[in-house]
């Protein structure tokens, strides 16, 4: 019992001491006209042993400095203008980004991604141009830092271009291959093929065939469907075609396919039948290549070269004055070209007109009457097909005009 009484007494003394300490605190702070509430007064909590005027040190966190990685790095030369320019900030965000041409200050558009930590360009660059990329980063503590990358793109002398036949939005026949001619030799042919997509409104597939390092063609296994449409998408910008040459543009365009028009030319029976959408439309008597100069056999495609009045010269097919068959020069009407080597459908000369359907007298061309040659001139278009039979001659070379249909598709598609 004695021990218990002492304990109570001690607790009573502690209570008196605390009350006294609070009173002293009020007297001190009251002098400054700043009376603290009891619950916040020094000594009200477990830290009551601290002096009345003590202040705790502020708690601060040192921010990790932001760093910026830029592509391309400063000093880069011959940067591919199709490649994305980017900047990635670690331990911070992109506060400001500017990509501009050094000479003109023309800006290049871009956008922030990855929660504001990365900037990427959204426009293609120009060939042969100096650029400056400036990135201002900001870390968690609000500290900012600006980094720069100065670089140049591939020189204009390393641009590669291409020309395509037929032209955009033109209408051609069902047998017209697509032809792509490049300004520079293509080493990376597979990369070029992957970058060119040809789709048809009917879903028809085809294949490429390279005839040289600068020319490739594309045709389907069978003729394009009549009155369909081809869409050509050349996503070639930035493609390295080889030897340091970079393709300079993306292009997309459409080609319309007209009616299916096919001429069957029979050198044995000396006439031509013309079918429109598989229905016989016209029959004309003809005079084709003589025994000395037989017409080419197989398949040919009408080209875009049509001449209402034409002058043919024997020298263009290798004949010289005094050679057997030399005819000097002769004027003809309604000339429609089939080959680069000089095969035409045309109105027969006045000398040959009486022999149409009877004797083959030409140097390889298909001679028709005024009516027949005029009908072909006015109604057949580039890409329409001519199939010649009954002649001992070989087919034309595939690049002597469009001899692509003289290949089986499996052979055409093979490299």
Phi-psi category of residue 148: left, alpha or beta, with phi > 0 → left and psi -120 to 50 → alpha: beta
Burial of 58 (0-12, 13-18, 19+ CB in 10 A): exposed
**With the CA atoms of 361, 365, 370 and 372 taken in that order, what torsion angle do they form, in degrees rounded to the nearest 10?**
110
Q: Does 346 participate in catalysis according to the annotation? A: yes
Query: Of the listed 363, 365, 370, 387, which one is catalytic?
Result: 365
**DSSP assignment letter at 217:** E
For residues 326 and 313, what is the distance between their CA atoms, to the nearest angstrom?
A: 9
Q: Dump strand ranges (E) for 259-325.
A: 261-266, 271-276, 279-287, 298-301, 306-313
For residues 49 and 40, what is the distance between their CA atoms, to the nearest angstrom?
A: 14
Q: Does 33 participate in catalysis according to the annotation? A: no
Which residues are registered as beta bridge partners of 100? 107, 132
Query: Of the listed 346, 363, 370, 387, which one is catalytic?
Result: 346
For residue 246, the SS3 value is strand
By annotation, the residues acting in catalysis are: 346, 365
């Amino acid at each position: 019992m004695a021990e218990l009484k002492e304990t109570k007494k001690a607790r009573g003394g502690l209570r008196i001491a605390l009350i006294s300490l609070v009173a002293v605190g009020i007297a001190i702070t009251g002098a400054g006209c700043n009376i603290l509430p009891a619950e916040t007064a020094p000594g009200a909590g477990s830290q009551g042993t601290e002096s009345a005027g003590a202040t705790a040190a502020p708690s601060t966190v040192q921010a990790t400095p932001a760093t910026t990685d830029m592509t391309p790095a400063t000093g880069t030369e011959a940067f591919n203008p199709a490649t994305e320019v980017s900047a990635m900030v670690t331990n911070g965000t992109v506060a400001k980004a500017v990509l501009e041409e050094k000479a003109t200050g023309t800006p290049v558009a871009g956008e922030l991604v990855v929660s504001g930590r990365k900037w990427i360009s959204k426009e293609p660059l120009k060939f042969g141009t100096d650029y400056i990329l400036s990135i201002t980063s900001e870390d968690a503590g609000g500290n900012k830092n600006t980094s720069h990358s100065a670089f140049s793109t591939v020189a204009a002398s390393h641009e590669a271009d291409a020309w395509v036949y037929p032209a955009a939005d033109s209408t051609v026949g069902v047998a017209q291959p697509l032809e792509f001619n490049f300004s520079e030799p293509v080493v990376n042919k597979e990369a070029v093929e992957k970058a060119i997509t040809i789709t048809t409104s009917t879903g028809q597939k085809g294949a490429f065939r390279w005839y040289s390092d600068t020319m490739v063609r594309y045709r389907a296994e069978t003729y394009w469907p009549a009155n369909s449409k081809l869409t050509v998408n050349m996503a070639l910008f930035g493609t390295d075609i080889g030897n340091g040459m970079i393709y300079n543009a993306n292009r997309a365009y459409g080609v319309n396919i007209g009616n299916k028009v096919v001429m069957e030319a029979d050198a044995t029976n000396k006439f031509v039948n013309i079918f429109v959408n598989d229905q016989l439309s016209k029959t004309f008597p003809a005079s084709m290549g003589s025994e000395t100069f037989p017409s080419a056999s197989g398949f040919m495609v009408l080209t875009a070269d049509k001449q209402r009045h034409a002058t043919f010269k024997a020298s263009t097919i290798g004949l010289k004055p005094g050679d057997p068959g030399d005819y000097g020069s002769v004027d003809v009407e309604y000339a429609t070209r089939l080959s680069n080597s000089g095969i035409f459908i045309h109105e027969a000369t006045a000398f040959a007109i009486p022999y149409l359907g009877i004797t083959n007298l030409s140097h390889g061309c298909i001679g028709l009457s005024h009516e027949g040659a005029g009908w072909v001139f006015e109604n057949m278009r580039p890409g329409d097909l001519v199939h010649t039979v009954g002649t001992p001659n070989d087919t034309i070379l595939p690049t002597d005009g469009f001899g692509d249909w003289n290949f089986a598709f499996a052979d055409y598609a093979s490299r």
